[in-house]
Structure 1
Amino acid sequence: MSQRTTTNGASDPHVAVLAFPFGTHAPPLLSIISRLAASAPKTVFSFFNTEESNNSLLSTHKHYFLPNMKPFNVSNGVPEGHVLGGNLLENIELFIKAAPDNTRKAVAAAVAETGRKVSCLVNDAFLWFAADLAAEMEVPWVQCWHSGPNSLSAHFYTDLIRETVGVEGSEDELLKFIPGMSKVRVGDLPEGVASQSSFSNIVYSAGLKLEQADVLFINCFEELIPTINTDLNSNFKQLLNVGPFNLISPPPKIPDTNGCLPWLDMQKPSSVAYIGFGSVAMLSPDELKAMAEVLEASKVPFIWSIKKSLQESLPNGFLERTKSNGIVVNWAPQLNVLAHNAVGVFVTHGGWNSVLESIGCGVPMICRPFFGDQYINGRMIEDVWEIGVIVDGGIFTKTGLLRCLDLILWQEKGKEIRENVRNLKQVTEKAIGSGGSSMENLKRLVDTVSRPNQKMLH
């Protein structure tokens, strides 16, 4: 792309990227920004995040920081002398309250250091205040939605949902009045859509701003939920599906320190249950016990990725009694494990990244949702795509989990589920292949963010 530059590089593109520093939001944003930076090497990308989150990224995801990318620290908003109570919500509220002013200061420092004025603002959609910053800087405003169009639709239509079902609506009422959501129930909605809480006010504010963005890009591919995607497309200026992020911008191969892959090499195809619940969700002691009892009784080959601290809560002698048919590890290379032909089912919390990884590898799911978009993702898995099941009653019991494993690994219905997810895998591969929908949308996104500041060129 041809660019006009001045001697001080002032008209060269400079993209300010604002990350949401909590949960698992920052790493996927960093991964897709890295892909944009690789596609636009003359554009500078400044990545604004709290010092704590940046330090974490630099220790675990340093490979994503290309030469034209640099992290900048934004204050976490905790007042001097303030003692935090250990509640994540308090950290989020303090950060959001102070973020507009703190971000302005950090952006000014990055402009001074790079010698380039900001030409485009990209942010995690939870940081709704970025609308004002983009307007002040008179630059294109690009928002990133980390999850899928299903949760995006729920937040976009929050007012309509509240008006139609009421804040105290029936959990089982179906959202037939929203395109593509006819099988989703009120009880599947993310917290704060049909009810109100302090955190939901942050997400609600974000939902109100969504349609103002010049571009909204999401971690999905157009063919996954076409009805919802078409509807959202008609409501936004420009909606770009550029996912799955983890396949568009894959992480480097991480050493398999616990020997998961050699162990899988010795198992039969589609026989292994891989169990992992991400870095935040945690099973109760009763559910841990139920999971252990099922794995022991069923003799299903398994890899169970579970934190060291929680392994101490497993039943006495469980590790010894099951060592012939499974391994318990504190970490597993999830994408590589799911891609192995021995894995027959993924027992998951239903986080969006995990769902996309499972689809991309053609593995059916048993979903035990905990919070956020996990319930609505589980509903899509079971009733819309028919590529897995939600555990009975939403929690693990011995009989419920045995039934789910039996259904997916051995029943005729399990064969249909496996066929469905393998078909979706092929659709995913086409979307991220040359000329595929996600790759074409990625080109459009690169073009948007890497334009020089048009106002400055006149």
Structure 2
Amino acid sequence: MELKPHVVMVPLPFQGHIKPFLCLAQLLSQTGLYITFVNTRYNHKRFSNLSALSLQFPNLQFESISDGMPDEDDQPRSLTFDFFYGLKYQSREHLKELIGTLSRRSENAQSPPITCIIGDGSVSFPVDVAEELGIPVISFCCHSAHYLLANICIPKLIEDGQLPYHEEKDTNHRINIEVAGLELEGRLRLKDLPDFCVLKDVNDPAYQFFVNEALAMTRSSGVIFNTADDLEAPCLPTIANICGRAYTIGPLHALLNSQIGHNRSQLTASHGSLWKTKHDCMTWLDSQPSRSVLYVSFGSLVKTSSAQLLEIWNGLVDSGYSFLWAVRPDMVDEENDNGIVSFPKVLEIGPKERGYIVDWAPQERVLAHDAVGGFLTHGGWNSILESILAGVPMIGWPNLGDQRVDHTENNQDIDGGKGGVSKVSG
């Protein structure tokens, strides 16, 4: 067997991280590298296109490990302390066991020896395992470089007395104060910082845990970013000084699309969705005038109340514009007295004239469609990159994680946008 470089890739097990990881895996596979892509068992069962991808990319294989929760537990995973704690202390051991299995396969000439691990920069356990086993490791940052810098700056903000803050006790004036004394000065407010900054005490175990997780990628040999120099040039030198090397190779979805071409079935498979994509909405978009439709999607993790969903619905209807809205079945985060999730009936019925509602839309195709003139988004990094590439102006409704930082970073009008429906933002 020819000894190709063998890269083990370990994404955070959420849609917004898996997609860019999978794009990178396929691009590396095309260069001749042998890739082992590690899903959690829960997500492995949700992929329907693994066999198609393996045929399309012979150097790409898929393996799975536990995410620290019982394998029979089919409940959706969420961004909780318990979940991340399980990843760190249980998935770490399962990853070590898998690498041992892969090493034995290489001894039997079934696959090349492992030469590198590319781990998700949002968690520390791939770096921990690589260090313990003496394998070179590179971190892949699926969010923006500015968000990473915000995380790296947290110890300095604590030292300066700017953190912690507590939303219930601090005045609105204080949480709107811009972060001072750092490369992010003039761009971020305290309330735009990561969610775990909203705590009473820096000695809180959750606080310490998430700070250490965020800083783990500084221990790797370098950091890969799904971004471009033109988007985030001001913060990249600082990150490179801290992390050693910084590679800006994005937007990865556009690079992969250019390599694959315009074969729609291949493009759909290559971006590996955990959700069943509804393509019927494209026929509806075909019937709409140019730049007349507002596309609405809040990503794969944002949850909201039934009342908030209904408020958004009323706003969309009252705007007078046509809209395409992706509303996940698990988006409502509340139960009634009987323990049943209450989903607004009006959304189940759907609009009869100007609107179209789906569970999950083929977002890249939607944004590229001539009928779409604006995007109401949660501000996730994948959505921002896809919208910029499509030239579609955005209206932001950031909620969690990196979204407030991404929104702050990209809150200026995008020159050269399609125009049209974006004027609803005022």
Indicate whether the TM-score tops 0.5: yes
1:356 maps to what in 2? 385
Q: Secondary structure at the match of 2:195?
A: coil
2:188 maps to what in 1? 184
Any residues of structure 2 matched to 1:215-234 within 5 Å, and which? 215-234=222-241
Equivalent residue in structure 2 for 1:76, among 60, 67, 91 = 67
Q: Which letter maps to 1:128?
A: S
2:89 maps to what in 1? 97
Given the alignment of the two structures, is residue 140 of structure 1 paired with residue 136 of structure 2, yes or no? Answer: yes
Change (3 A) 1:256 1:155: closer
1:300 maps to what in 2? 321
Distance (whole Å) between structure 1 residues aligned to residue 87 and residue 277 of structure 2: 36
Shift of 1:133: 3.2
Distance (whole Å) between structure 2 residues aligned to residue 82 and residue 410 of structure 1: 43
Equivalent residue in structure 2 for 1:120, among 110, 116, 119 = 116
TM-score normalised to structure 1 length: 0.74
Query: Residue by residue, what CA displacement relative to the aligned partner does 1:337-384 show, whole Å, maximum 9, x if unpaired?
Result: 1111221211111111111111111111111122111111121232xx
TM-score normalised to structure 2 length: 0.79
Which region of structure 1 is more displaced relative to structure 2, 116-125 or 22-31? 22-31
1:5 maps to what in 2? none
| Contact 1:176/1:183 (<8 A) preserved | no
What is the alpha-carbon root mean square deviation over aligned residues?
Answer: 3.4
Shift of 1:240: 0.5
Change (3 A) 1:338 1:406: closer
Shift of 1:201: 4.0
Shift of 1:218: 1.1
Q: Secondary structure at the match of 1:226?
A: helix
Shift of 1:83: 12
Which region of structure 1 is more displaced relative to structure 2, 45-54 or 345-354? 45-54
Distance (whole Å) between structure 1 residues aligned to residue 413 and residue 299 of structure 2: 22
Equivalent residue in structure 2 for 1:167, among 145, 158, 164 = 164
Distance (whole Å) between structure 2 residues aligned to residue 364 and residue 147 of structure 1: 20
| Contact 1:218/1:240 (<8 A) preserved | yes
Q: Which letter maps to 1:33?
A: A
Equivalent residue in structure 1 for 2:403, among 360, 374, 378 = 374
2:422 maps to what in 1? 408
Distance (whole Å) between structure 2 residues aligned to residue 289 and residue 305 of structure 1: 14
Distance (whole Å) between structure 2 residues aligned to residue 333 and residue 350 of structure 1: 17
Shift of 1:283: 3.0
Report how many residues are paired.
Answer: 382
2:358 maps to what in 1? 329
Change (3 A) 1:359 1:134: same
Shift of 1:273: 0.7
Q: Which letter maps to 1:145?
A: C
Shift of 1:78: 4.3
Which region of structure 1 is more displaced relative to structure 2, 206-215 or 303-312? 303-312
Q: Secondary structure at the match of 1:76?
A: coil
| Contact 2:152/2:214 (<8 A) preserved | yes
Q: Which letter maps to 1:109?
A: T
1:344 maps to what in 2? 373
Q: Which letter maps to 1:68?
A: N
Q: Secondary structure at the match of 2:236?
A: helix
Which region of structure 1 is more displaced relative to structure 2, 149-158 or 26-35? 26-35
Q: Secondary structure at the match of 1:235?
A: helix
Change (3 A) 1:316 1:121: closer
Shift of 1:188: 0.5
Distance (whole Å) between structure 2 residues aligned to residue 289 and residue 209 of structure 1: 40
